[in-house]
Structure 1
Amino acid sequence: MAPFTLAVDANSSFSLSSELSNKKMQNLQLEPKRFFASVNAREEKPFDFLRLLFEGVIAGGTAGVVVETALYPIDTIKTRLQAARGGGQIILKGLYSGLAGNLAGVLPASAVFVGVYEPAKQKLLRTFPENLSAVAHLTAGALGGMAASFIRVPTEVVKQRMQTGQFNSAPNAVRMIVAKEGFKGLYAGYGSFLLRDLPFDAIQFCIYEQLRLGYKLAAKRDLIQISSALTGAITTPLDVIKTRLMVQGSANQYKGIFDCVQTIVRDEGPSALLKGIGPTVMWIGIGGSIFFGVLEGTKRLLEQKRPENQARSKLE
């Protein structure tokens, strides 16, 4: 039996190679340009809602408490600057006034925010095209902010009333606010809060996630701090309005957001809308770095504690 031979024509081989090269170039040309960092969530582990919810609640609550405790004095100075009408002197005593009551609200609020954000983010990343990951992050940030607002607003109202010296304890503040203004008094400035914090949360988390995907968070952490600080500076006027509406109490000096803006500009000048911009930039800039650092560290720790990962480490 004659031996089997395979004849290869050099011209045919070159022609086949050229066709494959042309097809590859066509595929590259057809591939859409991506203007945002992308992630293929469909190739990752199956969607585990309860696990993501649990780890998000723990990580978010831990990060929120650490940031509030570390930077509370800066936040108090900011609040007093924004609440002061005209050129009133700022008192620097009692900078930790209301911290305990504030932490009682910050813990569940931060837990709810991240607890909603993480599952929503993963679900949206599996729904949206890869090149629209930024839209998924924006949407998840807004959903997390909306869910947490029901806890954050009463917490902010009580905190800022105590920071400005209206009450000496959180329980007393809640009791007196409800007695004089009704339950709605705990949600004073809710509209201005959403106007400021929903876009802020969405933009901040979107920037954070995009930088994390594109450049690795550990290498570009300083850029996250700058982006957070710039966002805080831009939204300072909204923060001033929120503070004035929250601390006015039953006096009802301002009838709403637009009336508040008009009154401040008329009585104190446009520059009053930028009160506290220095502490705001410092608080949000440093706080953003601490928050995301603690958040990621806690998430990594919880991931290592998963049964499947512990079993894998034992085998190794």
Structure 2
Amino acid sequence: MVGYNESADHKVSELWQGIAGISSGIITRVLCQPLDVLKIRFQLQHEPLQRCSENYYWGIKHASSRIVKEESIRALWKGHIPAQVLSGTYGLTQFLSFEVLTKYVSKSSDRQLNKTGVHFACGCISGALATSLTMPFDTVRTRLVGQGEPKIYKGVFHAFTTMVRTEGFLSFYKGLTPNLIQIIPHTGMQFALFNLATEIYSSVIKTDASGKLPVIGNLVCGSLAGVGAKTAVYPLDLAKKRLQIQGFEVAREKFGRIRIYTGMIDCIRSTFKEESFLGLYKGLTPSCIKAMATSGLIFALYEEISHLFKSLKL
């Protein structure tokens, strides 16, 4: 169902494809938000993620228990409201634009195109559109997740109004350049790898008459696509997160050293120089676990919801 299929006996309308995208994004976010909180906390820590009294977080287990102890279990869902707005809007824009683009490309070409290549190109464009639209929610979410106690921001509305008043509207787009540079190939690879993985899975394991993969098949293929794409662009994701908290350093003082960057290149270069090559991959483990979970879930849910709408002939 992901991507236009001319031979399908019934095609789900764009409206219901958008609803499927929103639904899959929202459900996935509820389940995976704690992993996102851990990933962001690790990315924003300049000290090594090693067992040492000077380092605030050492690893997944230590960080989880410390956050729960100091900030309560609800802190694992910090920034959840803007994250849900982000996920719903992102899922709608990403899947809807991807479906429309693959349909347009398939119908406008007279020759047989490589499906994986088409999915990569359309995924790049859909990722750029979705990211540009949802960037303000991502920045607010990052700041809400990144702050400790006492809180600088009381909630989503307070964060929005404070940022506009003290830093201006453009503060919502801090880190946009590394975000777009990261998300364009990431989304393209995610859709392309998912298509490739499903083709391989279908050739190895028989599917039903409709060609529909079982839920476990979509989960496996989506997970592989998510991990592969995330690992390839991870340093850019780290740079984006660090740039998003520029001007917000006071809320980070208790977590360790503060660093100011002039831009994406300076952030990556300084991180490599001061924290080594591995510093560019801080938070990779929870990020990959999250990528496996979120990518697998969102593709599987999108497929299942789309097939439900297809069976209802919507």
State the secondary structure of the residue aligned to 1:95.
helix
- The whole-number CA distance in structure 1 between the counterparts of 2:193 and 2:278 is 29
Q: Which runs of 5+ in 2 are unaligned?
A: 49-54, 58-65, 69-74, 203-212, 250-258
Residue pair 2:135, 2:172 contacting (<8 A) in 1 also = yes
1:306 match: 313
The letter for the 1-side match of 2:136 is: P
Q: 1:106 to 1:98 in 2, by over 3 A?
A: same
Q: 1:126 to 1:134 in 2, by over 3 A?
A: farther
Q: 1:145 to 1:58 in 2, by over 3 A?
A: same
- The whole-number CA distance in structure 2 between the counterparts of 1:224 and 1:139 is 18
- The whole-number CA distance in structure 2 between the counterparts of 1:305 and 1:266 is 57
2:123 match: 141
- Counterpart mapping for 1:228-243 below 5 A: 228-243=226-241
C-alpha RMSD over aligned residues? 2.4
Distance apart, 1:247 and its partner CA: 1.6
The letter for the 2-side match of 1:121 is: T
State the secondary structure of the residue aligned to 2:114.
helix
- The whole-number CA distance in structure 2 between the counterparts of 1:280 and 1:119 is 30
2:242 match: 244
Distance apart, 1:306 and its partner CA: 2.2
Q: 1:188 to 1:131 in 2, by over 3 A?
A: same
Q: 1:108 to 1:301 in 2, by over 3 A?
A: same
Aligned with residue 76 of structure 2, among 89, 95, 104: 95
1:189 match: 175
State the secondary structure of the residue aligned to 2:77.
coil
Count matched residues.
266
- The whole-number CA distance in structure 1 between the counterparts of 2:4 and 2:163 is 49
Of structures 1 and 2, the one scoring higher in RCO (CA 8 A, sep 6+) is 2
Q: 1:240 to 1:198 in 2, by over 3 A?
A: same
- Counterpart mapping for 1:201-216 below 5 A: 201-216=187-202
Distance apart, 1:123 and its partner CA: 1.8
Aligned with residue 118 of structure 1, among 96, 99, 118: 99
- Counterpart mapping for 1:1-316 below 5 A: 41-43=5-7, 52-87=13-48, 88-90=55-57, 91-93=66-68, 94-128=75-109, 129-165=111-147, 166-216=152-202, 217-218=213-214, 220-221=217-218, 222-249=220-247, 253-306=260-313
Residue pair 2:4, 2:99 contacting (<8 A) in 1 also = no
- The whole-number CA distance in structure 2 between the counterparts of 1:291 and 1:43 is 24
Q: 1:210 to 1:123 in 2, by over 3 A?
A: farther
- The whole-number CA distance in structure 2 between the counterparts of 1:214 and 1:125 is 22
Distance apart, 1:176 and its partner CA: 1.3
Q: 1:43 to 1:228 in 2, by over 3 A?
A: closer
State the secondary structure of the residue aligned to 2:46.
coil
Worse overlay, 88-97 or 249-258: 249-258
Q: 1:44 to 1:257 in 2, by over 3 A?
A: same
Residue pair 1:141, 1:205 contacting (<8 A) in 2 also = yes
The letter for the 1-side match of 2:130 is: A
Q: 1:172 to 1:287 in 2, by over 3 A?
A: same
- The whole-number CA distance in structure 1 between the counterparts of 2:139 and 2:89 is 16
Residue pair 2:40, 2:146 contacting (<8 A) in 1 also = yes
1:30 match: none
TM-score normalised by the chain length of structure 2: 0.78
Residue pair 1:80, 1:163 contacting (<8 A) in 2 also = yes
- The whole-number CA distance in structure 1 between the counterparts of 2:107 and 2:194 is 19
- The whole-number CA distance in structure 1 between the counterparts of 2:37 and 2:119 is 30
TM-score normalised by the chain length of structure 1: 0.77
Distance apart, 1:237 and its partner CA: 1.1
- The whole-number CA distance in structure 1 between the counterparts of 2:40 and 2:15 is 33
Q: Which runs of 5+ in 1 are unaligned?
A: 1-38, 308-316
- The superposition leaves residues 159-188 of structure 1 with CA deviations (integer Å, 9 ceiling, x where unpaired) of 110001152311111111112221110011
- The whole-number CA distance in structure 2 between the counterparts of 1:253 and 1:108 is 31
- The whole-number CA distance in structure 1 between the counterparts of 2:287 and 2:31 is 14
